Amino acid sequence: MAKVMIIGAGGVGGVVAHKCAQLPEVFTEIVLASRTESKCKVIAAQLPRPVSTAQVDADNVAETVALLKREKPDLVINVALPYQDLAIMDACLEAGVDYLDTANYEPPEEAKFEYKWQWAYQDKFTEAGRMALLGSGFDPGVTNVYTAYLKKHYLDEIHYLDIIDCNAGDHGMPFATNFNPEINIREVTANGRYWQDGHWQETAPLKENRSFDFPAGIGPKQIYLMYHEELESITKHLPEIKRARFWMTFSDNYLKHLEVLGNIGMTSIEPVEFEGKEIIPLQFLKALLPDPASLGPLTKGKTCIGCIAQGVKDGVKKTYYIYNICDHQECYAEVQSQAISYTTGVPAMIGAKMMLEKKWAGAGVWNMEQLDPDPFMDDLNQYGLPWQVVEIDQPTGMEK
Amino acid sequence: MAKVMIIGAGGVGGVVAHKCAQLPEVFTEIVLASRTESKCKVIAAQLPRPVSTAQVDADNVAETVALLKREKPDLVINVALPYQDLAIMDACLEAGVDYLDTANYEPPEEAKFEYKWQWAYQDKFTEAGRMALLGSGFDPGVTNVYTAYLKKHYLDEIHYLDIIDCNAGDHGMPFATNFNPEINIREVTANGRYWQDGHWQETAPLKENRSFDFPAGIGPKQIYLMYHEELESITKHLPEIKRARFWMTFSDNYLKHLEVLGNIGMTSIEPVEFEGKEIIPLQFLKALLPDPASLGPLTKGKTCIGCIAQGVKDGVKKTYYIYNICDHQECYAEVQSQAISYTTGVPAMIGAKMMLEKKWAGAGVWNMEQLDPDPFMDDLNQYGLPWQVVEIDQPTGMEK
């Protein structure tokens, strides 16, 4: 008998609500809260059983505390904006509620992916006897658990880790973004960064790239080295790792559009004087592009996210690849969201289930790889994100 | 002793004014007229001798007639917008002044390049005893004269004609247009069209393309088959031509930008509701792009425009290539415009010179290939657009 509050009513919030609603034996009561309560009501109307909704400005700690004290949930699932993580953690501490999120805190005005702000809450959560589970999405989240699982069952030591995120879906539009195009641009134009022998190495944007042959009929795609937040926690908690990298697929078409839009100044946030009005080009671009929510029913194809770990077992060098294949159309049929939201929302539900069932417990702030991977991995198979481990004995191109 | 009125104070108008001002023995008096007289004054201030300026709305026939009757020029050089050709022809007829332009009339609301509207003035000009010279720019213009020159001196019959326009200049910006991006888009997205055995053949946009190796160190560039207005008059006046085509170079980068801008709706003229205001995306795009006038001093490199004619001379098959090379920076140093405006403006001056010197004379409406090419060709060499003819005895890739 547990009550959960989901804060955030975007694509991921919808998936979390659907998946929690499917498990009434774990999530007895569900509250959906958002700045815009009407978005919660739209999601609620899709669900197989009644849930309640609430309005909350999660930037306002006092307002969130008041809602938490009124609703008395056992756990908050934070799938709001990453800018709001600290305010919601503060509210949970004050109201005495456990906390879970899917993406680490970013200061509003800079794209800085670092755990330092949330790790600084370690003592507060420990003293309060509360648990905070960080990054319980797919990447970060499942990728951390995959790594812990390989370490527990397949390798005594992991020396080289490559996390590879492939979206082989096609929405049929010439160009559209799954989320804020500015964030996309910043990701793509930022330097890459990876862990090598105890230090971070930087690479020029998109410089490190290669072709990788994905399973399940997806075939070869170009992958690009980027920084991603789970690299920070995994290399901290598995200090034996000599090199850890994160790769993402981008189609040539996608990169072409981002390049041109950047070239003509369309991604700028500097206002332009136009017909007596100040217009921010990026805002106007958003108005031209398809609404990301409209892409769900259009998107076909698969995602493939996984980890390749090279290491040793009983003194012998071994390489394993562990991954999930997710189908956009199957996700949409089940929860009215495509696979990008689905692969983030399902692990949030499972992380919450781990906490409510006390399979994962303990006061303090936790990253996913610090906890026992086995029950989480079982639930991935059971609740929509089945995985497989294959031993690699042929070159994959990821050896160097 | 002659007086000329130049209507239009854009880039081409500036070049025509410069070139006419350099020849006081032909162009004794010069009047620059434009809707915006201040633009005329800017040009006038650059010139080596005094010229007068005037304000005129060339869409308004009565206003233009009044100006012509007041100023009494011998000839109007129309380098205003193509939409205004007919109104200016009407004004010239009414005021009893000869007429010259560089681009054929287009109805304001459709991109239709056809001579029919201007050819319909044949009887009016003949009866008035006035001369109208159509299309005295480079292409149309010099390309028509090149064709007539090859026919007069090198080939008894021309069977295959390829007009090839290459701008190998580089302004150093990621993307900018020399003129209205909407016109660019329409050109590039329009079907190609060429003359073959007495009929027009259509091709899908950009479908017909190939590499052509340009002279003067420019080297190989991709050329794309397009429709261009001189094909209509040349195939009418040289009915022996079996096939006539027009090709233009576009860089991959330029085509990439146009494609992306089209994809995201940025070239649309349909208003978009944005922050309570109707915004036309194409207008906003223009506001983002560099001012074309700002590109003049930045542009480096060459243009190469010419004709390849295959035919017979004394029963023997022969192929000739006649072309001009123009350097953007040299043009800018001379007349403060780059080669795109220069190559259009110089032939307008020479066409006017032909008429004022009575080397070209005759009541009615004329296309360039109908007149004796020799004095015009001499003046091209003398006044900034030197040409050469080479006999081709190796395959150029244009045989088919």
Which chain A residue has the Cα nearest residue B289? Answer: A264
A179: tokens are: 């989320």
From A266's Cα to the closest Cα of chain B, the distance in A is 8
A200 reaches B (C-beta below 8 A)? no
pTM: 0.76
Sequence-distant (≥ 6) Cβ neighbours of residue B120 within 8 angstroms: none
Q: According to the model, what pLDDT value does residue A283 have?
A: 87
Which of A261, A277, A284 shows the shortest C-beta gap to B260?
A261
At CA A383, angle to CA A379 and CA A388, rounded to 5?
Answer: 65
CB of A358 within 8 Å of a chain B CB? The answer is: no
Of A242, A386, A399, the closest CA to residue A323 belongs to A386
Q: Quick check: B266 and A281 CB within 8 A?
A: no
pLDDT band at A130 (very low <50, low <70, confident <90, very high): very high
Do the strands A364-367 and A131-134 form a parallel or antiparallel pair, or are they unpaired?
parallel
Tens-level pLDDT at each residue, chain B (400 residues): 799 999 999 999 999 999 999 999 999 999 999 999 999 999 999 999 999 999 999 999 999 999 999 999 999 999 998 899 999 999 999 999 999 999 999 887 666 778 999 999 999 999 999 999 999 999 999 999 999 999 999 999 999 999 999 999 999 888 887 666 666 777 777 899 999 999 999 999 999 999 999 999 999 999 999 999 999 999 999 999 999 999 999 999 989 998 899 889 998 888 999 999 999 998 899 889 887 778 889 999 999 999 999 999 999 999 999 999 999 999 999 999 999 999 999 999 999 999 999 999 999 999 999 999 999 999 999 999 999 999 999 998 898 8
Residue B268 · residue B274 · CB < 8 Å: no
Asked if A257 lies within 8 A of B274 by C-beta distance, the reply is: no
Let me know: does B58 contact B90? Beta carbons within 8 Å: no
Instruction: Select the residue of B174, B273, B284 nearest A279 (Cβ to Cβ).
Output: B284
Q: Is B272 on the interface with A (CB under 8 A)?
A: yes
Touching B: A residues 229-258, CB under 8 Å: 256-257
How confident is the model at residue A46, as a pLDDT? 96
- With an 8 Å Cβ cutoff, are B288 and A279 in contact? no
Q: Output the DSSP codes for A143-184.
A: HHHHHHHHHHHT-SEEEEEEEEEEE--B-SSSS--SS-HHHH
Who contacts B254 (Cβ-Cβ below 8 Å, separation ≥6)? Answer: B175
Nearest chain A alpha carbon to B254: A260
Cα–Cα distance between A158 and B384 in angstroms, integer? 72
Question: DSSP labels for B133-175?
Answer: EE--BTTTBHHHHHHHHHHHHT-SEEEEEEEEEEE--B-SSSS
Check A260 against B175: CB less than 8 A apart.
yes
Closest residue in A to B287 (Cα–Cα): A274
* Other CB atoms within 10 Å distance of the CB of residue A52: 14
Cβ-defined contact of B174 to A264 (cutoff 8 Å): yes
Say yes or no for a CB contact (<8 Å) between A274 and B264. no
pLDDT tens, residue by residue, A21-64: 999 999 999 999 999 999 999 999 999 999 999 999 999 999 99
ipTM for the predicted complex comes to 0.71
Encode A158-179: b = buried (16+ Cβ within 10 Å), e = exposed: bbbbbbbbbbbbebeeebbbbe
**Total number of residues shown for chain A:** 400
d(CA A77, CA A75): 6
Q: Backbone phi, then psi, for B325, in 5-degree steps?
A: -115, 130
Which of A146, A285, A393, A57 has its CA nearest to residue B284?
A: A285
Q: A142-154 burial string, b = 16+ CB within 10 Å, else e? A: bbbbbbbbbbeeb
Collect all residues of chain A within an 8 Å Cβ-Cβ radius of residue B257.
Answer: 260, 263-264
Q: What is the pLDDT of residue B364?
A: 98
Nearest to A133 by CA among A351, A396, A391, A350: A351
SS3 category, B59: coil
Q: What is the pLDDT of residue A174?
A: 85
Q: Is A105 exposed, middle or buried (0-12, 13-18, 19+ CB in 10 A)?
A: buried
Contact between A7 and A88 under an 8 Å Cβ cutoff? The reply is: yes
User: Closest to A263 (Cβ–Cβ): which among B175, B265, B273?
Assistant: B175
Check: CB of residue A390 under 8 Å from CB of residue A321: yes
- Taking only residues 165 to 184 of chain A, the set having a beta carbon closer than 8 angstroms to any beta carbon of chain B reads 174-175
Which residue type is seen at A360? W
Best of B259, B264, B268, B275 to substitute, by most chain A Cβ atoms within 10 angstroms, is B264
pLDDT at position B293? 74
Nearest to B274 among A175, A256, A287 (CB): A287
Cβ neighbours of A174 in B, within 8 Å: 263-264
Rounded to 10 deg, the angle between the B181-189 and B252-263 helix axes is 100
**Do B243 and B161 form a contact (C-beta atoms < 8 A)?**
yes
C-alpha torsion angle, residues B144, B150, B152, B156 (rounded to 10)? -120
Chain B positions touching A260 (Cβ under 8 A) are 175, 256-257, 260-261
